Amino acid sequence: MTLMSAMKTIVLFIACLAILCGCAMQQDVIALYDRTTVLEQHCENLQQGNVKLEKDSTQLKSLMQECIKKQEVKEHYHRTRSADMHVMLDGLREQIRILNGKLEETEYLLKRKIAAFEDMGAKRKNILDKVEERSALNYDCIVNIQQYLNLESSGPDSKIKAVVKTDPLRQSTLADSGGSEDEVYASAKQAFDQGDLEAAREEFQRIIKQYPKSRHADNAQFWIGEIYYREKWYEKAILEYQKVIEKYPKGNKVPASLLKQGFAFLNLGEKANARLILNELVAKHPKSNEAKIAKQKLKRLK
C-alpha cells in the first residue's frame, strides 16, 4: 500500500467517524477532502522528485565511475611513463659510467704515452750526450795524432782532410764566387756528387752561415751529415743529422736524418740506440719512404 492510499483511507475513516458522530458538517468534510487532494498532489510531486533524484543519482554514479576509470587510466599511464623514465635514467647513468671509464682509460693511456715520449726524449738526450762526449774524445785523439805527425790544424773544427783529386780552377771558383744561394747550393751538390767532400762541406756550411733562412738550408745541413757519414765519422754524422731535426723540424729531410742516425748507430754497434731511433721514425713519419726502410731494418734487428 502506497502512502497516498494510506492517506485516503485515513481521511475516509475520519469523515465517516465525523458523520457518525454528528460533530462535523458537510463543509468541513469538503475542506478536509481538498486538503487531502493537496496532500496527494504534494506526495505525487515528492514521488516524481524522488524518481528524478534517483535518475540524477544514477547519472552521477555513472559519471563518477567514468571519472574513476579515467583517473585510473591516467594513473596507469603516469606509472608506466614514470617506470619508462626510470629505465631511461638508469640507461643514461650506465652510459655515463661507461663514458667516464673510457675517459679515465684514455687519460691513463695518454699519460703513459706522454711519459714514454718524455722518457724517449731523455734517453735520446743521454745518447746524444754520449755521442758528443765520444766525439770530443775522438777529437782529442786526432789532435794528438796531428801533433805527433806534425800536421797543421786550421781551428777547433778542423780534422784530417780526405785526399781527393779536384780541379784547382774549380776550387778557386768555389772559394771566390759570390753567387746566389741557388748557385752556391748547386755547386756544393755537384762537388758532393763528384766526391770532392771537403769542398762540398765548405760550400754547404757557407750556405748555412750566409743564407740561414734559405730554402736550401735544411738540405745543406743534411748533406754535411752525409759527408761525415761517408767519411765513416759516425759520431759526428749523428750530431749533424740532429741539427737537421732540431733546427728544421718541418723540413723534408727530417725522416732521412732519423734514418741515417739509426744506420750510424748500427755502424757503431749500438743496436739498442739504433732500434730506438728507427722506432721514433716509424712513429712520427709512418707514411714516409724512410719509415718503410726502417720497418724492414727493424725486422732484421729482432
pLDDT in tens, 61-84: 888 888 898 988 888 888 888 788
Residue carrying C-alpha cell 789532435: 143
Superfamily in which the 167-301 domain is placed by CATH: Tetratricopeptide repeat domain (1.25.40.10)
- For residues 297 and 278, the answer to whether their CB atoms sit within 8 Å is yes
6-15, 115-124, 199-208: which has the minimum mean pLDDT?
6-15
**Higher model confidence: residue 231 or residue 29?**
231
Most confident of 7-16, 165-174, 270-279: 270-279
Contacts of 234 (CB under 8 A, 6+ apart): 228, 264, 265, 267, 268
- For residues 177 and 184, the answer to whether their CB atoms sit within 8 Å is yes
Nearest to 239 by CA among 119, 123, 130, 154: 130
Q: pLDDT band at 279, cuts 50/70/90?
A: very high
146-155, 195-204, 207-216: which has the minimum mean pLDDT?
146-155
C-alpha cell at 299: 725486422
Confidence check: pLDDT of 45 > 90: no
User: Which pTM does this prediction carry?
Assistant: 0.46
- What pLDDT shows up at residue 170? 43
The alpha carbons of the chain give a radius of gyration, in whole angstroms, of 57
DSSP state of 18: H
Residue carrying C-alpha cell 734514418: 259
Task: Give dist(CA 152, CA 131) in Å, integer.
Answer: 26
- For residues 236 and 206, the answer to whether their CB atoms sit within 8 Å is no
C-alpha cell at 68: 574513476
Residue-wise over 155-179: b if at least 16 C-beta within 10 A, else e? eeeebeeeeeeeeeeeeeebeeeee
Confidence check: pLDDT of 199 > 50: yes
Task: Give dist(CA 231, CA 199) in Å, integer.
Answer: 14
Give alpha helix (H) positions in the chain.
Answer: 3-21, 26-149, 168-176, 181-193, 197-210, 217-230, 234-247, 254-267, 271-284, 289-301
Confidence check: pLDDT of 169 > 60: no
* Count of beta carbons in the 10 Å neighbourhood of residue 112: 10
Question: What integer is the mean pLDDT of 19-44?
Answer: 71
Q: pLDDT band at 37, cuts 50/70/90?
A: confident
> Within 13 Å of residue 63, how many CA atoms lie on the same side as its CB?
6
Confidence check: pLDDT of 19 > 90: no
Confidence check: pLDDT of 174 > 50: no
CA distances from 209 to 87, 99, 183 (A): 72, 55, 15
Q: pLDDT band at 148, cuts 50/70/90?
A: very low
**Higher model confidence: residue 36 or residue 224?**
224
CA distances from 80 to 74, 93, 136, 146, 230 (A): 10, 20, 83, 97, 82
Contacts of 107 (CB under 8 A, 6+ apart): none
Task: Give dist(CA 141, CA 218) in Å, integer.
Answer: 30
